[in-house]
Amino acid sequence: MDLPTLTISAGNGWMDQRERFSGNIAGNEQKNYTLLKKGQLSYNHGNSKLAKYGAVFELKNYEEALVPRVYHSFETDEETDPAFIEYLFATKRPDRELQKLISSGARMDGLLNIDYDSFMGIGLKLPCLEEQLQISGFLRKVDRTVALHQ
């Protein structure tokens, strides 16, 4: 299987491990990685300066990729736009819900102690699909405009 092996950077989203770490750091563990398909999302529950309660990104630039199993990977239902979910988490609004799940301040392995089921159970108030698509489409245009001007 010759798929890209990706990692999440809170500031840059999905990055190929070869670019981020100057090589594929998966090694023999790559066989335990999760196969993620375009349109699916992953939650990296490691905290950072940019994402105190972790980050969520949609796989957009690859049809399929391998991602660390430690990420909580998921897909949305037909009433939810994955791009909207990514933008929602970028706003940090779900952080209030995520904060409630952390039972201790210690991060023994560098990850917040938020398990998959707890993450998937957080309460998110979402507009209807049509509004989600309009909002994410608008924000995508803003992102492109900002990128062109940088």
From residue 72, how far is each of 23, 35, 38, 96 by CA, in Å? Answer: 23, 12, 15, 18
The neighbouring-strand residues paired with 41 are 58, 74
The per-residue pLDDT for range 65-104, each reduced to its tens digit, is 999 999 999 999 999 999 999 999 999 999 999 999 887 5
Nearest Cα residue to 58 out of 72, 37, 41:
41
> Out of 24-38, 40-54, 101-115, which region has the weakest mean confidence (pLDDT)?
101-115
pLDDT score for 55 = 95
Q: Is the pLDDT of residue 105 over 60?
A: no
- Please report the pLDDT score of residue 49 as a whole number: 87
Label residue 129 by pLDDT band (50, 70, 90): very high
